[in-house]
Amino acid sequence: MEGVHLVRRVLTAATAALTLTTAGTMLTSAPGLAAPTAWGRPTVTLAPQPGAPGLGDSYFPDYGNGGYDVSHYDVRLRYDPATDLLTGTTTILATATEDLSRFNLDFLLDVESVRVNGWAATTSTAGAHELVVTPTRTVTRGQQLTIVVRYAGIPSETLVGGYTGWTRTDDGALAVNEPESAWWWFPSNDHPLDKATFDISVSVPTGVEVISNGVQPRPPLAEAGNRTRWSWRTTSPTATYLAFMAIGQYDIVTDTTPSGQPVVNAYSTSLGELGPAARASIERTAEIVDWESGIFGPYPFEAQGGVAGPVDGIGFALETQTRPVYGPGFWRRGANTYVVAHENAHQWFGDSVSVAEWRNIWLNEGFASYAEWLWSEEQGEGTAQEVFDFTYASYPADSEFWQVLPGDPGADRVFDNAVYDRGAMTLHQLRLAVGDDAFFEILPAWTAEHRYGNGTIAQFQALAERISGLDLDELFTTWLFTAGRPDVATAARRAATPPVEPKSWAKIREAHDLLSH
Ligand SMILES: [Zn+2]
């Protein structure tokens, strides 16, 4: 994705402040009970502990929770566009990974009740977005958990640090954001380290459409009170921020790819004169996914598509799994297939292979941006080398751009331009260093080895070194982890004659201006 700078800064600051509170709470909890044994020698018998309020992410320490692993979310909602009132029940299937006296979920709406394996639990809130669940009976390691949370709220008015990740529109809403999105519509273990499958069903007034991930296990079903329930299902592991809903007035176009995959595209009826450009871009999804499959390896998911959001919706695009959502800005100057190539490249880089920690964001954005350069080459609108030269030259050596490290940009610069542009430049330098044969072997090897899992930059470097047989430490250190503009022999040679602007540049620039910040 790219595009929500200011609010992200505010949210990061608020979250960081509240993390201290959560950590302080942890320190005061009892570490365990010492009990004498039959031999009279004290031994430590660990009592069930509170689950950690976070998964230790270095940028977002309280995102996700410790002590359990979710396998499935059943999210059953009722939504009314007129009031933005969201009510629902989410049933979470999980396995305890520790003995737990209590555990946390990440959630912001008002909770009516929580049951754990049928028994009522008590709840409280903590930190910026923690729902603390204390079950009646302690949970033992390895236990299967069925956690049922009933709740209600108005997501657009539920703020954390002055911010909501939920977008209310004239005719509905978009639950589309990164990394914070789930808090406003379903309780979760909100970190890419804990992926799960989803059943998402939403009751809305008849005449309103609901689009979400995956496939429709059944057609929309009429309900009492002139309402309709829409159902969607994902059967591949999905990170919580990649689940989404688009609710409103949409034209839905369904099809099947030559390879037999269901395609669901949806276009907000509010797009007006932007509508044809949106269709001329998103209707090429199957073609672009097929082309990307030839470079990145087999497409990892069960469906494809895209959603063109409304004119009063989001100002960016997001690689929501199986079906990216695009803001209207991409269509203002005609079709833009570069953003389609970018968001669908994320299906491999970001969605199937997710960051192990948010500091590894280059593994998402660097690769999705380089996919645009490869698409430029494929379309005859400028080679990747030409796009590299022009991008490199477009940032003067003293630009602040070169001070941001794509390999460790900082929590408030996760979506900085440098992560995208210098990130793509890094991959081009890798390609030049190892040669095309090794480079195009590394990409599918990476998506195969970490399919449906997580990865780190160090693991990617190790894979690239293994396949190429080269020591790449200097290249990765220079391009991802060192401030300042790296010297590039080819660009230096051309310094006297500025590189020519590739035909693809305006579209790539347009996409990145909306995607990064
Ligand atoms: Zn992206």
Looking at the predicted structure, is the pLDDT value of residue 391 above 90?
Answer: yes
| Distance of CA 423 from the midpoint of ligand 1 (Å) | 11
Helix axes 457-468 and 417-434, enclosed angle (nearest 10): 20
CA 147–ligand 1 middle distance (angstroms): 33
- Please tell me the predicted confidence (pLDDT) of residue 494: 60
Break the chain into its structural domains and give their ranges: 48-248, 261-351, 355-515
Closest CA to 308 of 266, 262, 251, 252: 266
How far does residue 460's CA lie from ligand 1's centre (Å)?
18
One fold for 261-351 and 355-515? no
Q: How large is the average pLDDT for residues 289-306?
A: 98
Amino acid sitting at position 430: L
Q: From the CA of 364, how far away is ligand 1's center (Å)?
A: 6
For residues 440-465, b (16+ Cβ closer than 10 Å) or e, as one string? bbbbbbbbeebeeebbebebbbebbb
Question: Cα(24) to centroid of ligand 1, in Å?
Answer: 35
Query: Is residue 504 within 8 Å of residue 381, measured between CB atoms?
Result: yes
CB 210 within 8 A of CB 202: yes
DSSP assignment of 178-221: SS--GGGT--B--STTS-EEEEEEEEEETT-EEEESSB-SS--E
Structure-block tokens of residue 129? 């977005």
Compute, in angstroms, the gap from residue 346 CA to the centroid of ligand 1. Answer: 7
**Tell me: the pLDDT tens digits for 175-190?**
999 999 999 999 999 9
What is the pLDDT averaged over residues 2-28?
39
CATH class of 48-248: mainly beta
pLDDT of residue 499: 85
Nearest-10 Cα torsion for 356, 151, 228, 266: -30
pLDDT tens track for 347-372: 999 999 999 999 999 999 999 999 99
Ligand 1 centre and the CA of 353: distance in Å? 14
Instruction: At 88, give phi and psi (nearest 5°).
Output: 180, 175
| Distance from Cα 418 to the centre of ligand 1, integer Å | 12
442-501 pLDDT per residue, tens? 999 999 999 999 999 999 999 999 999 999 999 999 999 999 999 997 655 565 677 889
C-alpha dihedral sign at 83, 15, 246, 192: negative
Kindly report the pTM of this predicted structure.
Answer: 0.92
- Cβ neighbours for 460, distance < 8 A, ≥ 6 positions apart: 363, 446
Mean pLDDT confidence for 223-236: 98
The answer to whether 105 and 68 are in contact (CB under 8 A) is: no
Class of domain 355-515: mainly alpha
pLDDT at residue 28 above 80? no
Rounded to the nearest angstrom, the distance between the alpha carbon of 131 and the centre of ligand 1 is 30
> Does residue 167 register a pLDDT over 50?
yes
- Lowest-confidence region among 11-20, 160-169, 396-405, 467-476: 11-20
Q: Which class in CATH covers the domain with range 261-351? A: alpha beta
